[in-house]
């Protein structure tokens, strides 16, 4: 585990210095003072290592957020602290890994927000998952688009991506779902 962690840290650091496509296994292993065989014992290639980085990655504070706006602020703070690494990821074939990472953060938290709404517990878990997937996909795509497209990134700019949504969007989705379900049972 120590070697994998050391390689992951080295990759993050190197991605802040050079594009991912320019990082070789040789340069990475040289930085970690290990041989290439050790790298290939743990990973198939650089993208396999980057996958592991995002599997291990966490965004501190997401579990304490109470709503989508707070979540967006925590995600933006995470981006601000890791901008070089994330920008390098977004500018590479690893973009989908970051997008999946953000999707999973959104999905987990949207499920939690839905369960916390007044009618959340009345909705079947599969329906809660459906709503969470729908919104997580939209939010994750918008977040990644914003971070990969806009030159001057600000919290206000990110929040403006969602300005068309009202604060109770998940509650409204539950209400609509419940009405549709009630009609199909009549």
- Does the reported pTM lie above 0.75? yes
Q: What is the pLDDT of residues 17-26, one digit of tens each?
A: 988 989 999 9
Fold of 2-53: Arc Repressor Mutant, subunit A (1.10.10)
Structure tokens given for 160: 């403006």
Q: Indicate the SS3 state at residue 165.
A: coil
d(CA 137, CA 94): 18
- For the chain, the domains span 2-53, 60-185
Q: How confident is the model at residue 62 (pLDDT cuts 50, 70, 90)?
A: very high
Closest CA to 102 of 64, 146, 165, 167: 146
Mean pLDDT to the nearest integer, 100-105: 98
d(CA 142, CA 72): 11
Are the C-beta atoms of 56 and 12 separated by less than 8 Å?
Answer: no
């Amino acid at each position: 585990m120590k070697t994998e962690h050391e390689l992951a840290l080295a990759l993050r650091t190197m991605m802040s210095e050079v594009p991912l496509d320019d990082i070789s296994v040789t340069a990475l292993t040289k930085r970690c003072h290990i041989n290439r065989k050790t790298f290939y014992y743990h990973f198939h290639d650089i993208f396999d290592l980057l996958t592991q980085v995002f599997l291990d990655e966490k965004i501190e504070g997401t579990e304490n957020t109470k709503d989508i706006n707070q979540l967006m602020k925590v995600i933006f703070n995470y981006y601000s602290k890791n901008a070089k690494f994330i920008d390098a990821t977004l500018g590479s074939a690893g973009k989908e890994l970051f997008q999946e990472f953000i999707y999973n953060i959104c999905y987990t938290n949207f499920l939690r927000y839905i369960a916390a709404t007044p009618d959340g517990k009345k909705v079947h878990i599969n329906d809660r998952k459906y709503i969470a997937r729908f919104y997580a996909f939209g939010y994750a795509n918008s977040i990644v688009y914003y971070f990969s497209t806009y030159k001057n990134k600000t919290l206000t700019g990110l929040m403006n991506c969602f300005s068309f949504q009202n604060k109770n969007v998940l509650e409204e989705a539950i209400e609509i779902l419940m009405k549709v379900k009630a009609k199909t049972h009549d």
